[in-house]
A and B are shown apart, each in its own frame.
Chain A
């Protein structure tokens, strides 16, 4: 678990994970296109993320494809967030999102009602 926290402790590595969240299975070149980092830096970060098991990679021909591996994060979640807390936390997070978007609409002079899903 140390490797996971170490890998997550750098903003650029989290950005890399976000990028894979958007589009899983990217090559090094594709990742470099979307990020403001040198190829060498991305390569280095990918190695660390893969060691921490946060990224899985497979070869396709001569290209290496990178995928987000959610398992280590799931293990952290399982360890510290029990099944009862998760519903309350979800409710709080929904409430926050709802209130913030309602506040946004007030500022823009729009309706204050939150949209029904």
Chain B
């Protein structure tokens, strides 16, 4: 088996899978909790996928590997603005959304086939902020302040 590095996160959000799906993919929502960024994709298998900074530069890019709204999204993902991270190549991001009572269990796995990955180290400090902010946004209609602007510590 190939050695991997990964970031694993599970959070329960009081919302519906449909709303959570929109929040994860639509610019209107991502701008609020994900450092004012927007994603661009046709959201179908094989389609290209990008995260754009507020001034239109590509922060990360890749491809939609699997998509099953509002339950599952798998992306091929590479950082584009830090050369040492870009050099590590493509990672794989899985979002899994499961309805559990009045909440949705969101599982996020971000993995790369490399040990001691700097990319995983970087996302491991960013994701908890962004996902906490996403939860706040959906539950209280207000995201966390530190994740609203680019560039922020949480988005590097």
Question: A residues near B, CB below 8 A?
Answer: 23-25, 30, 53, 56-60, 67-71
Question: Knowing A67-B6, A68-B8 touch, does A58 contact B94 (C-beta < 8 A)?
Answer: yes
A57 touches B107 (CB 8 A): yes
Question: Knowing A56-B109, A57-B107, A58-B107 touch, does A71 contact B1 (C-beta < 8 A)?
Answer: no
B1 touches A56 (CB 8 A): no
Cβ-based interface call for B111 (8 A): yes
B10 touches A53 (CB 8 A): yes
Please measure, in the bound complex, the distance between the C-alpha atom of A58 and the C-alpha atom of B111, giving whole angstroms.
Answer: 12
Q: Which residues of B contact A56 (CB under 8 A)?
A: 8-10, 107, 109
Please measure, in the bound complex, the distance between the C-alpha atom of A39 and the C-alpha atom of B65, giving whole angstroms.
Answer: 31
A67 touches B8 (CB 8 A): yes
Please measure, in the bound complex, the distance between the C-alpha atom of A58 and the C-alpha atom of B109, giving whole angstroms.
Answer: 8
Please measure, in the bound complex, the distance between the C-alpha atom of A23 and the C-alpha atom of B1, giving whole angstroms.
Answer: 8
Closest residue of chain B to A30, judged by CB? B1
Q: List 14 A-B contacts (CB under 8 A).
A: A24-B8, A25-B4, A25-B6, A53-B10, A56-B8, A56-B9, A56-B109, A58-B96, A58-B109, A67-B6, A67-B8, A67-B109, A71-B9, A71-B10
A117 → chain B closest CB, angstroms:
16
A62 → chain B closest CB, angstroms:
13
Which residues of chain B from 1 to 44 have any CB-CB distance to chain A below 8 Å in the complex? 1, 4, 6, 8-10
Please measure, in the bound complex, the distance between the C-alpha atom of A70 and the C-alpha atom of B94, giving whole angstroms.
Answer: 17
Interface string of B95-139 (1 = CB under 8 A from A): 010000000000101010000000000000000000000000000
Cβ-based interface call for B72 (8 A): yes
Question: Knowing A58-B94, A59-B72, A59-B96 touch, does A25 contact B10 (C-beta < 8 A)?
Answer: no
Please measure, in the bound complex, the distance between the C-alpha atom of A57 and the C-alpha atom of B9, giving whole angstroms.
Answer: 10
Please measure, in the bound complex, the distance between the C-alpha atom of A20 and the C-alpha atom of B140, giving whole angstroms.
Answer: 36
